[in-house]
Amino acid sequence: MNSEAATAVSAEVEAPSIAKAPAPVVELQGVSVRFGRRDILQNLTCTLSGRSIGLLGPNGAGKTTLINTLLGFYKPVSGSARILGHDIHSDLKTIRSLVGYMPENDAFISKMSAVSFIRMMAELSGLPSEAALERAHEALFFVGLSEARYRKLGTYSLGMRQMAKLAQAIVHGPRLVILDEPTNGLDPVARQRMIRLIREIRSDPEMHVVVCSHLLRDVEDCCEEVLILKQGRIVHYSNLEEERRANRRFLELEIYGANGNFTEAIERLGCECATTTNRLKMVLADGVEIRDIYRLAAERDVRIRRLNFRRDTLEDIFLRAMET
């Protein structure tokens, strides 16, 4: 899907909620970024309004560049972007006060203790000294580093550093948290904890989270919307919640003892069907429930051995997007 299509899709998604008029989290209007002669981002246009947004793409797709452009680290050669309604050209300071950022790479001062490092970051965000100290302790408790908060950051393990980076991103209570590869280098337990924390941050009704990752599982676990980038272009936009709901109507049955009657009966209910030897794929029509299928099977002495909701996984969506 190209960028125009992404806009169209997002517009469709937003249409029912116009009454609530939620401010878009990220709006891109023809954003292009060029380093020397290389086009890194090309004419990105989309509107993202979800509480948790996933940025997906293979390595070198431009995910991190997009984040850095939104934070004002890189200047776009053309186009404009808005974060929470603020323009990145004219309102950068406001944006930076509303955003918390967790970078992909190591980012710490090795000789500082975690609590003084996080406190300093809070103070630089504008918190008074005492409030910053209180928030630093809270943030470190929140990410599970309470016992190690007086240790120097240089002595932390990779997983602990990731958590410390998350703590500095949320210490000033931002409205939008941008997480670049948050589960990089984490073991399964630490990864689970990171995902849980992201979900918990997201649960605040005024909070928004952007997760940038090439790990589909991470994005699938904690995001509602997904923007897939490839070679600096938007190739797919997907509202996972919408797709999950839509895919609940898609069934796959393994049956025994079927004859043509059963398929015809289902089609008479208005469902679309496709059969192979023992398998039946169908899209349930509106108003048709699964119990209706069971009833028809019982009436025609058809045994249903297996029934699955066949839904596209994020991997399916991603692989399809990569083929375009």
Contact between 74 and other proteins (CB under 8 A)?
yes
Q: What count of other Cβ atoms lies within 10 Å of the Cβ of residue 184?
A: 17
Quote the strand ranges of 182-295, DSSP E: 208-213, 225-230, 233-239, 250-256, 272-275, 279-283
In the block, residue with structure tokens 């059963």: 262
Question: In the range 239-278, which residues lie near other proteins by CB under 8 A?
Answer: none
Nearer of residues 172 and 236 to other proteins, judged by Cβ:
172
Interface stretch with other proteins, choices 3-11, 14-22, 121-129, 255-263 (CB under 8 A): 121-129
- Interface residue with other proteins, options 47, 68, 162, 238 (CB under 8 A): 68
Contact assessment for residue 116 and residue 109, using Cβ atoms and an 8 Å cutoff: no
Contact between 88 and other proteins (CB under 8 A)?
no
- Interface residue with other proteins, options 12, 22, 23, 73 (CB under 8 A): 73
Max Cα–Cα distance, the chain, nearest Å? 76
Non-local CB neighbours of 25 within 8 Å, separated by 6+ positions:
48, 49, 50, 53, 83, 84, 176, 208, 210
Interface stretch with other proteins, choices 128-136, 240-248, 249-257, 289-297 (CB under 8 A): 128-136
- Distances in Å between the Cα of 13 and the Cα atoms of 6, 8, 48 are 11, 9, 10
Q: Which two tokens stand for residue 280?
A: 């039946």
- Interface residue with other proteins, options 43, 125, 238, 239 (CB under 8 A): 125
- Interface residue with other proteins, options 107, 246, 274, 319 (CB under 8 A): 107
CB of 10 to other proteins, least distance (A): 26
d(CA 237, CA 178): 18
Interface stretch with other proteins, choices 91-99, 253-261, 300-308, 311-319 (CB under 8 A): 91-99
Interface stretch with other proteins, choices 5-13, 22-30, 200-208, 301-309 (CB under 8 A): 200-208
DSSP string, 123-161: HHTT--HHHHHHHHHHHHHHTT-STTTTSBGGG--HHHH
d(CA 86, CA 93): 10
CB of 82 to other proteins, least distance (A): 17
Q: Which two tokens stand for residue 301?
A: 């002495």
Contact assessment for residue 240 and residue 95, using Cβ atoms and an 8 Å cutoff: no
CB of 75 to other proteins, least distance (A): 10
* x/- map, 132-161, other proteins, by CB under 8 A: --xx-xx--xx---x---------------
Contact between 32 and other proteins (CB under 8 A)?
no
Contact between 58 and other proteins (CB under 8 A)?
no
- Interface residue with other proteins, options 105, 147, 189, 291 (CB under 8 A): 105
d(CA 173, CA 238): 28
Nearer of residues 38 and 291 to other proteins, judged by Cβ:
38
Contact assessment for residue 46 and residue 69, using Cβ atoms and an 8 Å cutoff: no
- Interface residue with other proteins, options 29, 32, 116, 184 (CB under 8 A): 116
Q: What is the DSSP letter of 49?
A: -
Length of the chain: 324
Nearer of residues 33 and 302 to other proteins, judged by Cβ:
33
Contact between 194 and other proteins (CB under 8 A)?
no
Interface stretch with other proteins, choices 4-12, 90-98, 246-254, 315-323 (CB under 8 A): 90-98
| Contact footprint for other proteins (CB under 8 A) | 35-38, 68, 71, 73-74, 93-94, 96-97, 99-101, 103, 105-112, 116, 120-121, 123-128, 131, 134-135, 137-138, 141-142, 146, 168, 170, 172-175, 200-201, 204, 206-207
